[in-house]
Structure 1
Amino acid sequence: MNSIEAVILEELRDEKWDTLGLSEVRRAGEAFIKLVDGHVLCYEGTEERIECGIGFLLNKRLAGNVDEFFSINERVAGIILKVNKRYHVVQVYAPASTPDDEKVEKFFEDVENAMKGKKTQFTFVTGNFNAKVGQKKAGETAVANFGISNRNDRGDTLVQFAERNQLKIMNSFFQKKENRKWRWKGPSGITKNDIDFILTNRSDIVKDVTVLNREDVGSDHRIVRCQIGLNLKVERNKLVRNIRQNLCQLKEKSEEYNLEVQNRYSQLADIEKTEDMNDNFTKILTEASLSVAGKVRKNTPRKPSEETKDLPRKRRNMTIRTARNKIDAAEVGKTINKKKCEDIRKFNMTKIEETKKRWKLEINQENDWHRKKSDVQPKKLKW
């Protein structure tokens, strides 16, 4: 294990971490290495000279969840992690301040290329952008209210990149104390700026972005930590959510459905991975069915009904001054309870009838299939 990895792991020993993006790893070539303690190091460097370089350090808990590691060059690399969903993390190391605009434009083109062509649910772009974003400007959605210092030209380019790709610069979304705002310190020790950023297309899952100011890894940059949180139950329900297709209508328009599937199937020609092919094929069948036949509309009554919802409003608007008013209010309360029971019973009975009809339809379809199958079988000859 290289000394720098040992220092980083020693500093992170008391911290909870899963994936660590590395900028300027200063190693030649490309490698995917399993370290002695079970953690995984993957990186991309140059063959000619040991400088720049980009990579990831993965906790041993995620060693078996790496779906793909790829690199564009020694400044842009990415990794696909498959946990409950697929996470796409792109690590970058932007060129230092330079008047060469073409070099900067080429860098952001490489980052966009690393983001494209990967089917994932969550995308993160992290690393050293050598840019100062500063404060939010009017009309911007990628930047929030807690940026620091003033924006420079490279910061404008970064914000435009984020806006163009529907990304949020999460460093500016969380208010921090002064000693937790800066990520980089100049050689003089006086200049302090925020040039390391975390961008994502799913700001709703990010719980916090901060710096680890106690860890010393021998760099002029401080470690930036992004904490995410997922409701696994909700995400799992999204994966298994069933769209009720109109099977009766689909049966009547079978020829149109077959033609729609054939037209959409041609889109799979350029897909190489079996998993992506399967996901897209399932999606094509569902989309073709919905396009031709639509989906079954729910006609079930609401629980409770609108009439029952009006009763509590009526009771709230009643003026209770006399004994007779109290009796009337009590009667309305009894009516509310009675109506609730009736609505629940009606709702449940409607559900039962829908289920019976759906089962009957499926049984009829199965019987039709068996009948057609028996019709095409050759008849036995009598000798």
Structure 2
Amino acid sequence: MECAYSKSRWKTRHSNEPIGKIRVGIGVSETSHWKESDFTERGYKVLCASEEDVHRRGVALILNKQAQKALLGYNTISPRLISARFQTQVGALTIIQVYAPNMADREEMIDTFYDQLQQTIDDTPNKDILIVQGDLIAKVGRDWDTWKNVIGHHGYGEMNNRGEKLLNFCMANNLAIANTMFKQKNASREWTWESPDGRTKNKIDFVMVNNKWKSSVQCGRSFPSADVASDHQLVICNFKLRFKTKPKQNVMKRYDVSKLKDENT
């Protein structure tokens, strides 16, 4: 999986589990060599959105068996956007995995990306729990007073132009950035990207949730001990939710009424 890296992991409690949390899904950005849109590997279902001819971009969601049973459907919007909808005991959950254009890309590409993301959110039912996660390539800083409904008290670094665009987008869509809401013991749990020389560190990968459900977030941080063969760190958020398996449809048994004409029957 060259140039691919895991971005965020969302956790929940299965409806039959009385205690504890179970990892059920991983979002991945830059899955350039995964060409299939839907495949299974070692029991995990992989949902992909990628380009057919160019080994660039690409996003994916990796689901374990519990998440597969709760899956209602998914939509591959572009090589930078994929969404999936799940059933939980408190309603439906929509997860959008993203991979924003690089800093060197033209401004029109960035605008197109945000337009597509906005359309995806607009198409999501209002009652859904909404999670937007992935590589946004934006620095949101730590100005909690100005952006108190978007970032928490534990932002990182200084905001840049791309970060301001993301913050305005979050405010317009009532989204809170979960991995700025928790104080970390170690600095390595704060940043999500490191330059090749190890001198520069930034937080540019985020997990965002609609404000109505941000109280369900139990933890949000980087995971430096996970070796994902990338200059990005894994980002983990714990959500205290319960998945609900889709009920099986009852099949009505059909009777051969023509046999009623037979006297023996």
TM-score in terms of structure 1 length: 0.55
Listed one character per residue, the Cα deviations across residues 340-377 of structure 1 (whole Å, up to 9, x for unaligned) are xxxxxxxxxxxxxxxxxxxxxxxxxxxxxxxxxxxxxx
**2:168 aligned to 135, 148, 160, which one?**
160
Contact 1:185–1:220 (8 Å) recurs in 2: yes
CA RMSD of the aligned region, Å? 2.4
1:45 aligns with: 50
1:98 CA drift (Å): 2.8
The alignment-based identity, stated in percent, is: 25
Amino acid aligned to 1:131: A
1:121 CA drift (Å): 2.2
Q: Which has the higher strand share?
A: 2
**2:188 aligned to 159, 169, 179, which one?**
179
2:68 aligned counterpart, secondary structure: helix
1:309 aligns with: none
- The 5-angstrom pairing of residues 53-68 of structure 1 reads 53-68=58-73
Amino acid aligned to 2:117: V
Residues 99 and 137 from structure 1, CA distance in 2 versus in 1: closer, same or farther, beyond 3 angstroms?
farther
Listed one character per residue, the Cα deviations across residues 235-294 of structure 1 (whole Å, up to 9, x for unaligned) are 99xxxxxxxxxxxxxxxxxxxxxxxxxxxxxxxxxxxxxxxxxxxxxxxxxxxxxxxxxx
**1:130 aligned to 132, 137, 141, which one?**
137
Amino acid aligned to 1:192: K
Total equivalences in the alignment:
224
- The 5-angstrom pairing of residues 1-383 of structure 1 reads 16-27=22-33, 29-35=35-41, 37-84=42-89, 85-98=91-104, 100-119=106-125, 120-140=127-147, 141-176=149-184, 177-201=186-210, 202-230=213-241
Amino acid aligned to 1:43: C
Amino acid aligned to 1:215: A
Q: Give the Cα–Cα distance (whole angstroms) in 1 for the partners of residues 62 and 235 of structure 2.
A: 14
Contact 1:135–1:148 (8 Å) recurs in 2: yes
Amino acid aligned to 1:136: D
1:187 CA drift (Å): 1.3
The unaligned stretches of length 5 or more in structure 1 are 9-14, 237-383
Residues 29 and 116 from structure 1, CA distance in 2 versus in 1: closer, same or farther, beyond 3 angstroms?
farther
Residues 4 and 107 from structure 1, CA distance in 2 versus in 1: closer, same or farther, beyond 3 angstroms?
closer
Residues 29 and 216 from structure 1, CA distance in 2 versus in 1: closer, same or farther, beyond 3 angstroms?
closer
TM-score in terms of structure 2 length: 0.78
2:229 aligned counterpart, secondary structure: coil
Q: Give the Cα–Cα distance (whole angstroms) in 2 for the partners of residues 27 and 3 of structure 1.
A: 7
Residues 19 and 99 from structure 1, CA distance in 2 versus in 1: closer, same or farther, beyond 3 angstroms?
closer
Contact 2:154–2:180 (8 Å) recurs in 1: yes
Contact 2:188–2:222 (8 Å) recurs in 1: no
Q: Which has the higher helix share?
A: 1
Higher relative contact order (CA 8 A, sep 6+): 2
